């Protein structure tokens, strides 16, 4: 309803006389824009024109945000500040509410400025109780309840004179706190006005946190991501004492969020949305918490889009405790551990009844790995004596890192320390029953949406194993206590052909000790009805049937005229007629590859006699036999994983399966959550089925197992992994195993056993195939031997039915599975060693790889053997694991636990003009330090300014290298070799198409460009050339609406850089043209020279055939008025450096025709020398404009309305 609601509200707000001080409310030229005038006769303020832009009209009226700015040139500074500061608070408000809040904010800002004294007619007349009256007493200056902290003072908005003491002290405190954050190694960003309200962003690159490569993969992180920590202050900036005071009232106006971003700070819209989306039970609560990032273009993603964090929800919930935890730390001199323990203790007891001095709270933080960098282990509060010297943003960020980098050390629910002696890979929960319940039943654990989006085939595998186990009656643990409601269906004999029923597959043997619920049989309670599958309607025959069905109920419809059953949700109830949602057909026979799970059969036209069974039986009350039947029944209704993934990707603003309610019942969703959450091992996809040959697992794939799809146990269940590690250490020491502490062996088992194997590991509690060689787990060094055991033991009661153990909607269609296990290398202590390994000590065995025989045709992938991994595990020559062809398999080093593998770091060592790659051992911290940090973002000038006092320059914060051509800023001597061959200031004006100022220039655009140029040059003059990668010569800017930019210092390995070197070029010359509507409209960016190889000839880099940039960011569809020139140039540089779909290449012209520099030339007319403008080496503005329009037409992007003016310039 977004657009319709927006139009209706705008029409209502535009009614004459609707507001006292707001008039002329109209829609703007662009979609989602609002224009209005503000006038206050009481303050003698002339009409001020204000524009408002809605972030996304489709999100209106609840999840949108506004971008507000004044367009009047004579607007007082107080009004400008008020309009900027009110932006966060009007997010999610209707147009009328927004206009009222903007009007109120401006009135507050103007109090005392030309205000008539004691005007009784004014609604803003000041009386003695007005909280804005400044109190002479400063005793409560920093209290959150003090009048001066609630609203800025009257004098704070005066243009002239000295600023009041309070304002200076607030700014000084902000500057002091944020400088400490910067000195600790973090990036600082400020969004909004911190003196009134605003957001502080503290960030750090993931690559600097010492997280292992294995954990990065398991957590879905990229090294170039920034971890973003946002602090939003509701009523102005608060120091650490203010935040502590807020805890007394129990209501905090300071909020916190964590997320990921490709820049060091998000846009203000993204930051504001993060708070509005994650508050309460907002429909988009999982967007930043967990799941998958929105499917946006690369340009949009890189200019400040927040991305998901795999443990975002637990972290955001933990941060609500942060003010209280810091309060207890400071008041009682606790460590982080002690303060957290005390906080947890007082949740169930009165604080006054607890002895704060007891030893259990006065504990030190446990030692952490020495490999972690200092910024992760530092403790600002513990190192600072006086609270008034503590920086709250710094202490809070250190708290975030404590629970993010070391998330496996803490329970995801209660956040208490988990006592383990090894480094886990996947965060989990402690053993408290309440934590386990919340983890399984309430979704406090891993997001199933995140799992489906990131590893869909792992989810398919887990569901398939659970289904096979239930079908084979091998399930022992059930999803009890999560309020599952299931239908009770008739179960006729398996030989019956018609009717919906379950086929029973008794196990070969069932252990006598297996727990079993008393066999209480519940009688099905069918509701007689007539069913029309075409109209999706039920007509209840018995008007006295148990209460009418409710909307949202799920039911099953069976009839004698069709085999199987329909599952559906009640959408409308016009008793006795019931209208159903999408019909999910589940047949009574084996799944065929073409089955989709959606109704795809033609029942008799019109009404047929049918029986209805409601999902109303408590799953917990069923017998074990019926529970397993119900599980297979419910899982048969689930769509396949690719359908679920496609649905989530189609709803990027709300990636939640709860919205898929017309297709997935609550019962099926909770069952799926239990299947995923109950798996404590960390299984990773090695092979990723696709149409490309590059989908093989590469460095993680075991070589020698053709035709088998591979998964890797990156880590087993935490408690099992710990016991295995202890055994490896003990036996290795006792037997002096040296370089071969473990060996690898295969284990094959029927599909119904794998649900428990991936959770519990291998054991020998059950006897399924006999024990001719003694009691223990049977394994073999030969894959073919174990494959023979992987399909044994389970058959249909009636072979004619052709029922398999496969989940009918599985994309994998697994027919068999076997594991490659790491086993302690002590064959002499095995129960038996030939022809099988028989090991009776289950803690000596840990599964490392899982191989499944999948339906390659269904997946569209043939899993041939891949290139062997470079880093391999050295097998004991006496005990080598052999693959399907009888040859030794090649096992990657990643197969073993990361704590036992050597850390390899590749470091470039200078050797003359060359670099030699040397591999050696190093700590993780050393590996992080060796990484080039050139990808780090340049700090905005506005964020640098917040750290400076009025009489300081940037050198007071962090002296950077200087390469200004001006003589007033002396360059700092460089202590390392120059990292670029680019020399600034060499471009000649005579070779450039310089223009006169345009006739359409506007005062507002000129002022905006002057400010933008000043900020851009400041960044340029304070950043190393090789890091920046672009250069603007101020002497060449004779017209504020035309900037000449040189792109340089590209990564040497790029084809573009190699072409430039071959052509003797050190830079790419660009032109930026700005319109009179800047910054509302984007600049036009084009290449002047050299010419790039067109796409049709194999070129890329997002440069069109006419030299314009093919980027949505540079169109009305992707442009944001808050985008900086620095961010635009960064995106242009990234686009030119992109290898997708093809790398950028320069055109070389000569006798043979046209082609890439150094490459083959295609047939074509003879051209002049490379780069010669006279010979066609330079693009004209006309062809660039036409190419830009073509690109916009192809992609459906909106061209700025004033774009044709660029041709007239």
633 is catalytic: no
Do 587 and 631 lie in one domain? The reply is yes
User: Could you give the count of Cα atoms lying within 13 Å of 144 in the half-sphere of its Cβ?
Assistant: 22
Asked if residue 729 belongs to a domain, the reply is: yes
Low-confidence stretches of the chain (pLDDT beneath 50) = 112-163, 278-302, 422, 493-517, 589-603, 691-695, 793-803, 903-936, 953-956, 958-977, 1149-1154, 1160-1176
User: Residue 943 has which token pair?
Assistant: 């964020």
Helix axes 666-677, 624-635, angle to 10 degrees: 110
* pLDDT (tens digit per residue) in 1164-1189: 333 333 344 333 478 988 889 989 99
SS3 293: coil
* 1064 contacts: CB under 8 Å, gap ≥ 6: none
Last residue of a domain, one of 679, 710, 729: 679
Distance CA(750)–CA(608), nearest Å, equals 42
Which two tokens mark 8?
């209706």
* Alpha-carbon distances, residue 95 vs 31, 70, 551, 657 (angstroms): 15, 17, 34, 31
Q: Are residues 11 and 109 in the same domain?
A: yes
Indicate if 866 and 721 belong to the same structural domain. Answer: yes
CA 342/CA 360 separation, integer angstroms: 9
Nearest to 224 by CA among 1034, 987, 1134, 946: 1134
Six token digits for residue 1207: 């041709």
Task: Report how far residue 710's alpha carbon sits from residue 894's, in angstroms, rounded to the nearest whole number.
Answer: 14
Name the residue among 461, 1124, 1159 with its Cα closest to residue 853.
461
pLDDT of residue 665: 93
Q: Cα angle at 969 between 963 and 971, to 5 degrees?
A: 45
938: left (phi over 0), alpha (psi -120 to 50) or beta: beta
Count of Cβ atoms closer than 10 Å to residue 883 Cβ: 22
Domain end: 679, 699, 717, which one?
A: 679
3-state secondary structure of 904: strand
Q: Are residues 759 and 633 in the same domain?
A: no
For residue 554, give both structure tokens: 């799920």
**Partner residues linked to 612 by β-bridges:** 527, 557
**SS3 of residue 492 by DSSP:** coil
Helices (H), strands (E): how many in the chain? 33, 33
Write the CB contacts of 321 (distance below 8 Å, at least 6 apart in sequence): 343, 415
Q: What is the pLDDT of residue 986?
A: 84
Judge if 748 and 886 occupy the same domain. Answer: yes
248 is a domain residue: no
Looking up residue 881, the CATH number of its domain turns out to be 3.90.228
Q: What is the pLDDT of residue 580?
A: 93
The C-alpha angle 372, 373, 379, rounded to 5 degrees, equals 100
Q: Which domain holds residue 52?
A: 2-125
Q: Which of 682, 1110, 1148, 1192 is catalytic?
A: 1110
Q: Are strands 742-748 and 816-824 parallel, antiparallel or unpaired?
A: antiparallel
Do 656 and 717 sit in the same domain of this protein?
no
Q: How many angstroms separate the CA atoms of 1062 and 261, rounded?
A: 36
- Domain boundary pick from 72, 101, 125: 125
Per DSSP, 1034 falls in state G
- The DSSP symbol for 889 reads P
Phi, psi of 481 (to 5 degrees): 85, 10
785 and 741 within one domain = yes
In a domain, 312, yes or no: no
Model-level pTM? 0.54
Length of the chain: 1209
Closest by Cα among 385, 480, 478 to 437 = 480
Dihedral sign, Cα of residue 408, residue 414, residue 415, residue 421: negative
Do 1022 and 1167 lie in one domain? The reply is yes
Q: Looking at residue 1073, which CATH number applies to its domain?
A: 3.10.110.10
Gap between the terminal Cα atoms of the chain = 43
**Whether 433 and 516 share a structural domain:** no
188: in domain: no
Q: Count CB-CB contacts under 10 A for residue 863.
A: 24
1091 and 1185 belong to one structural domain: yes
CA distance 201 to 256: 10
Residue 531 lies in a domain: no
Q: For the domain that residue 52 is a member of, what is the CATH number?
A: 3.10.110
Q: What is the largest CA-CA distance in the chain?
A: 103
Instruction: Report yes or no on 943 lying in a domain.
Output: no
Angle 541-547-548 from CA coordinates, rounded to 5°:
60
- Report the alpha-carbon distance of residue 1037 to residue 1015 in Å, rounded: 15
d(CA 416, CA 411): 5
Residue 747 burial by Cβ neighbours in a 10 Å radius (0-12, 13-18, 19+) = buried
pLDDT score, position 507: 35
Say if CB 652 and CB 283 are below 8 A apart.
no
- Spatial neighbors of 496 by CB under 8 A, at least 6 apart, are none
Contact 1086, 1071 (CB under 8 A): yes
For residue 345, tell me if it sits in a domain. no
Structural domain total, the chain = 5
Same domain, 18 and 103: yes
Residue 1000 sits in the same domain as residue 1148: yes
Q: Which two tokens stand for residue 1118?
A: 């992707």
Distance CA 105, CA 84 (A): 10
Residue 989 buriedness (CB in 10 A; 0-12 / 13-18 / 19+): exposed
- 903-909-915-919 Cα dihedral, nearest 10 degrees: -20
Determine, yes or no, domain membership for 268: no
């Amino acid at each position: 309803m977004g657009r319709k609601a927006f139009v209706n509200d705008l029409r209502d707000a535009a009614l004459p006389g609707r507001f006292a001080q707001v008039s002329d409310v109209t829609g703007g030229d662009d979609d989602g824009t609002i224009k209005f005038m503000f006038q206050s006769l009481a303050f003698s303020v002339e009409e001020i024109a204000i524009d408002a832009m809605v972030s996304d009209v489709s999100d209106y009226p609840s999840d949108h945000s506004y971008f507000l700015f004044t367009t009047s040139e004579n607007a007082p500074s107080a009004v400008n500040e008020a309009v900027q500061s009110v932006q966060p608070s009007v997010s999610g408000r209707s147009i009328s509410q927004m206009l009222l809040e903007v009007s109120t904010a401006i009135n507050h800002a103007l109090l005392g400025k030309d205000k008539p004294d004691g005007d009784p007619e004014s609604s803003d007349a000041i009386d003695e109780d007005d909280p804005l009256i400044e109190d002479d007493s400063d005793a409560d200056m920093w209290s959150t309840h003090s009048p001066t902290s609630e609203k800025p003072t009257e004098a704070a908005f005066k243009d002239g004179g000295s600023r009041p003491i309070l304002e200076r002290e607030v700014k000084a405190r902000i500057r002091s706190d944020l400088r400490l954050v910067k000195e600790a190694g973090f990036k600082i960003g400020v969004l909004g006005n911190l003196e009134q309200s605003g957001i502080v962003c503290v960030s750090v690159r993931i690559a600097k946190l010492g997280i292992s490569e294995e954990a990065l993969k398991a957590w879905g992180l990229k090294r170039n991501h920034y971890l973003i920590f946002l602090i939003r202050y509701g009523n102005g900036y608060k120091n650490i004492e203010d935040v502590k005071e807020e805890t007394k009232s129990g209501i905090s106006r300071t909020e916190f969020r964590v997320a990921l971003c490709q820049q060091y700070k998000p846009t203000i819209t993204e930051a504001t949305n993060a708070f509005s989306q994650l508050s309460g039970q907002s429909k988009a609560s999982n967007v930043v918490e967990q799941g998958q990032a929105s499917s946006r273009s690369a340009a949009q993603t890189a200019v400040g889009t927040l991305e998901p964090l795999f443990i975002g929800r637990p972290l955001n919930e933990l941060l609500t405790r942060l003010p209280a935890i810091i309060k207890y730390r400071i008041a009682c001199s606790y460590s982080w551990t002690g303060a957290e323990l005390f906080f947890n203790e007082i949740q169930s007891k009165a604080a006054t009844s607890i002895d704060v001095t007891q030893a259990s709270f006065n504990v030190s933080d446990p030692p952490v790995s020495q490999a972690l960098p200092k910024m992760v282990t530092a403790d600002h509060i513990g190192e600072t004596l006086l609270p008034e010297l503590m920086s709250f943003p710094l202490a809070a960020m250190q708290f975030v890192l404590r629970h993010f980098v070391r998330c496996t050390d803490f329970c995801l629910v209660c956040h208490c320390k988990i006592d383990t002696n090894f480094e886990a890979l996947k965060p989990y929960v402690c053993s408290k029953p309440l934590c386990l319940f919340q983890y399984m039943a309430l979704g406090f654990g891993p997001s199933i949406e995140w799992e489906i989006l990131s590893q869909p085939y792992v989810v398919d595998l887990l569901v398939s194993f659970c289904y096979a186990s239930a079908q084979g009656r091998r399930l022992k643990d059930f999803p009890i206590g999560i309020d599952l409601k299931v239908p009770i269906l008739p179960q006729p004999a398996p030989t019956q052909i018609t009717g919906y029923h379950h086929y029973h597959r008794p196990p070969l043997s069932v252990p006598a000790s297996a727990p079993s619920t008393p066999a209480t049989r519940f009688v099905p309670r069918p509701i007689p009805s007539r069913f029309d599958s075409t109209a999706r309607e039920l007509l209840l025959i018995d008007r006295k049937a148990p209460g009418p069905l409710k909307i949202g109920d799920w039911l099953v419809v069976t009839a004698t005229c069709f085999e199987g059953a329909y599952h559906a949700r009640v959408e409308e109830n016009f008793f006795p007629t019931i209208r159903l949602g999408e019909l999910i057909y589940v047949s009574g026979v084996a799944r065929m590859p073409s089955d989709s799970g959606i109704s795809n059969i033609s029942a008799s036209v019109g009404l047929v006699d049918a029986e209805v069974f409601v999902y109303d039986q408590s799953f917990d009350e069923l017998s074990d036999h019926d529970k397993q039947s119900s599980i297979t029944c419910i899982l048969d209704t689930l769509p396949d994983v690719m359908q679920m993934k496609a649905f989530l990707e189609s709803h990027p603003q709300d990636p939640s399966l709860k919205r898929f309610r017309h297709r997935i019942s609550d019962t099926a969703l909770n069952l799926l959550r239990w299947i995923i959450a109950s798996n404590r091992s960390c299984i990773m996809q090695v092979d990723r089925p696709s149409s490309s040959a590059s989908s093989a697992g590469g460095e993680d794939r075991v070589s020698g197992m053709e035709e088998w799809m591979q998964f890797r146990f990156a880590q087993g269940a935490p408690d099992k992994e710990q016991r295995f590690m202890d055994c490896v250490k003990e036996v290795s020491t006792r037997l002096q195993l040296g370089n071969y502490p473990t060996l690898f062996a295969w284990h094959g088992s029927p599909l119904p056993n794998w649900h428990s194997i991936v959770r519990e590991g291998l054991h020998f509690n059950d006897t399924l195939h006999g024990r001719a060689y003694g009691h223990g787990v049977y394994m073999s060094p030969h894959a073919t031997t174990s494959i023979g055991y992987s399909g044994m033991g389970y058959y249909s009661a009636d072979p004619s039915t052709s029922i398999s153990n496969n989940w009918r909607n599985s994309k994998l269609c697994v027919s068999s599975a076997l594991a490659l296990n790491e086993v302690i290398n002590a064959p002499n202590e095995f129960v038996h060693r030939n022809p099988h390994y028989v090991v009776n000590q289950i803690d000596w065995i840990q599964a490392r790889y899982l191989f499944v025989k999948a339906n390659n045709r269904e997946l569209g992938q043939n899993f041939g053997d891949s290139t062997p991994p470079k880093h391999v595990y050295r097998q004991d020559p006496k005990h080598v694991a052999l693959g399907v062809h009888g040859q030794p398999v090649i096992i990657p080093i990643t197969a073993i636990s990361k704590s036992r593998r050597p850390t390899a770091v590749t470091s470039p060592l200078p050797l003359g003009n060359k670099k030699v790659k040397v591999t050696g051992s190093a700590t993780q911290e050393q590996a992080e330090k060796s990484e080039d940090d050139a990808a780090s973002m340049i700090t905005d000038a506005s964020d640098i300014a917040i750290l400076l006092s009025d009489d300081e320059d940037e050198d007071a914060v962090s002296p950077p290298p200087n390469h200004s051509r001006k003589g007033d800023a002396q360059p700092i001597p460089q202590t390392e070799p120059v990292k670029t061959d680019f020399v600034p200031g060499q471009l000649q004006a005579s070779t450039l198409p310089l223009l006169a100022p345009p006739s359409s220039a506007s005062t507002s655009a000129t002022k905006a460009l002057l400010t933008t140029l000043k900020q851009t040059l400041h960044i340029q003059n304070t950043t190393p050339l090789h890091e920046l990668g672009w250069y603007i010569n101020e002497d060449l800017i004779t017209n504020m609406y035309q900037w000449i930019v040189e792109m340089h210092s590209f990564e040497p390995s790029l084809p573009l850089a190699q072409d430039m070197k071959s052509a003797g070029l050190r830079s790419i010359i660009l032109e930026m043209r700005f319109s009179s509507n800047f910054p509302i409209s984007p600049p036009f960016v084009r290449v002047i020279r050299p010419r790039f190889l067109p796409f049709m000839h194999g070129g890329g880099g997002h440069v069109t055939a006419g030299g314009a940039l093919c980027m949505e960011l540079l169109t009305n569809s992707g442009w944001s008025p808050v985008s900086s020139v620095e961010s635009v140039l960064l995106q242009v540089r990234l686009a030119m450096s992109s290898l997708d779909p093809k790398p950028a290449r320069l055109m070389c012209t000569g006798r043979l025709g046209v082609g890439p520099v150094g490459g083959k030339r295609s047939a074509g007319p003879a051209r002049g020398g490379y780069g010669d403008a006279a010979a066609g080496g330079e693009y004209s503005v006309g062809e660039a404009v036409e190419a830009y329009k073509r690109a916009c037409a192809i992609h459906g992007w909106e061209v700025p309305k004033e774009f044709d003016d660029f041709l007239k310039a």
